[in-house]
Amino acid sequence: MDPVVHIPVLPGEVMRYLAPAAGEIFVDGTIGLGGHASLLAGKLGPSGTLLGIDLDASALAKAGENLSFFPGRLILRQGNYRDLPIFLEEEGLPAPDGILLDLGVSSLQLDQGNRGFSYWEDAPLDMRMDPSQNFTAADLVNRASREELHRIIREYGEEPWAARISQFIVNERRKNPILTTHHLVKVIKAAVPAGARRRGPHPARRTFQALRIAVNKELESLEAGLAAGIRCLAPGGRMAVISFHSLEDRLVKRTFQKMARKCTCPPGFPVCCCGGGPGIEILTSRPVTPSAEETAGNPRSRSAKLRAVRKL
């Protein structure tokens, strides 16, 4: 059986900004099926090291198959990229020369309908990137208060009908628990007025995005992971981050801007209080987006935005 593969987003741009070289140490913090990691591995060579991290054990297994050609040191760890300092210490690795984060749901998770990420497939309402995690989207939908659901759908999904959707969810679950994706889609469609359903994306798209972000604590992990990654980088090391919606992109942009401000606290001051960072150079003045040719060949890339920095 051939290894499962996927098309990496913005491959040329990722390689240009990360510029991997033979013998370097690189981290793919969201390795997925190893699409970007395979490109990096091709440049690192037999003396290079690649650390791949992912919450999904099944993705890690397939990444290992897809990277079997790599002659260097390949290390795969299940977990969250926010814990990169722990992984580096446990593996005895020095500061990495490059870090890649490709955010959001992976091709494997979308294509596995039973994972509950897709509003097109009828499946248990799950959405866990780490299947060993106890809390699912069904738990959130059926237990959270109307106010909390409203906040999540409005903030994480930027859904204009968040108030109606949250109220319809609460009304429905009083009669029957909402346990499947299609049951939730039916509730969302009933909440969104017919005119609005005919415009824009699928009416469930924003709500599903919001629930997935909340279930997996994606924004909290991103904020912590960006700071941890930059602090772990070797001097001159590069970090590239690919985001797929405006919430992620704004958080990446703000974090990079904050950490680009050098610390002005007095030398030897035990705790930074000025809000400055370790000193980075922002390599992308605006986010890099896919070309029309790439989006035509890989529609999932259409909303991708890449930002990159170099540690001073």
What is the mean pLDDT of the segment spanning 214-242?
A: 97
Superfamily of domain 125-216: Putative methyltransferase TM0872, insert domain (1.10.150.170)
DSSP-assigned states of every residue in 222-291 = HHHHHHHHHHHSPTT-EEEEEESSHHHHHHHHHHHHHHHSBP-SPTT-SS--S--BS-EEES-SS-B---
More confident position, 271 or 149: 149
What is the mean pLDDT of the segment spanning 137-152?
A: 98
> CB count, 10 Å around CB of 35?
21
pLDDT tier at 2 (50, 70, 90 boundaries)?
Answer: very low
What is the mean pLDDT of the segment spanning 253-282?
A: 75
* Predicted pLDDT at 300: 86
* Predicted pLDDT at 188: 98
Above 90 in pLDDT, residue 180?
A: yes
* Predicted pLDDT at 110: 60
**Domain residue extents for the chain:** 11-108+218-311, 125-216
Strands (E), 191-260: 238-243
* Predicted pLDDT at 267: 67
Task: Give the CATH class of 11-108+218-311.
Answer: alpha beta
Average pLDDT value over all residues in the chain = 92
Most confident range, picked from 40-49, 104-113, 262-271: 40-49
Above 60 in pLDDT, residue 285?
A: yes
Which residue, chain included where needed, has tokens 């990229």?
81
Residue 102, beta-bridge partner list: 242
pLDDT tier at 245 (50, 70, 90 boundaries)?
Answer: very high
Q: What angle do CA 157, 161, 162 make, to 5 degrees?
A: 55
* CB-based contacts of 66, cutoff 8 Å, min separation 6: 3, 4, 5, 33, 34, 35, 37, 38
* Predicted pLDDT at 263: 64
What is the mean pLDDT of the segment spanning 8-29?
A: 98
pLDDT tier at 3 (50, 70, 90 boundaries)?
Answer: very low
Above 60 in pLDDT, residue 149?
A: yes
pTM as predicted: 0.89
Q: What is the pLDDT of residues 91-140, one digit of tens each?
A: 999 999 999 999 977 655 565 667 899 999 999 999 999 989 999 999 99
Provide Rg for the chain, Cα atoms: 20
Q: What is the pLDDT of residues 56-86, one digit of tens each?
A: 999 999 999 999 999 999 999 999 999 999 9
Above 50 in pLDDT, residue 53?
A: yes
Above 60 in pLDDT, residue 304?
A: yes
